Amino acid sequence: MAGRPWWAANELLAFLLEMAALACLFWWGFSLAGNPAAQLLLGTAVLAAAIVLWALFAAPRARFRPPLVGVLAVKAAVLGGGALALYGVGHPVAAAVLGAVVVVNTALAETFRHRPAPAA
């Protein structure tokens, strides 16, 4: 990471966005039910589905590594789903901001990924 501070900062932001998207997905799932047991069950189920999808196809050490289009589709589903979930719980402005930051972060991540590191 030394010599590539913008890349490192963008990767940190990507991690924070992933955690925020997962939290939003849990919150949305939690908000779907009426009683506490069902809320916890639905929130956990939505969160678990997103984590499994991410771990299998989009994580840096993913079990399966589809082509870039597949990885971006999974990222769009989970990260975009987090923004949509935030909209679903009644925060449209925050959802739009989250969605915009996700798009910029992902675009920068792919740009940095395909650019060679500077010579030391």
Cα–Cα distances in angstroms (integers) from residue 77 to residues 55, 74, 84, 99, in the given order: 13, 5, 10, 12
Give the per-residue pLDDT at 75: 93
| Whole-prediction pTM | 0.88
What is the band of 115 on the pLDDT scale with cuts at 50, 70, 90? Answer: low
CA distance 19 to 14: 9
For residue 118, what pLDDT is reported?
A: 58
More confident residue, 116 or 31: 31
Residue 116 has pLDDT above 60, yes or no: no
Which of 51-65, 80-94, 99-113 is the most confident on average?
80-94
Percent pLDDT > 90 in the chain is: 77
Distance set, CA 55 to CA 44, 60, 81 (Å)? 16, 8, 16
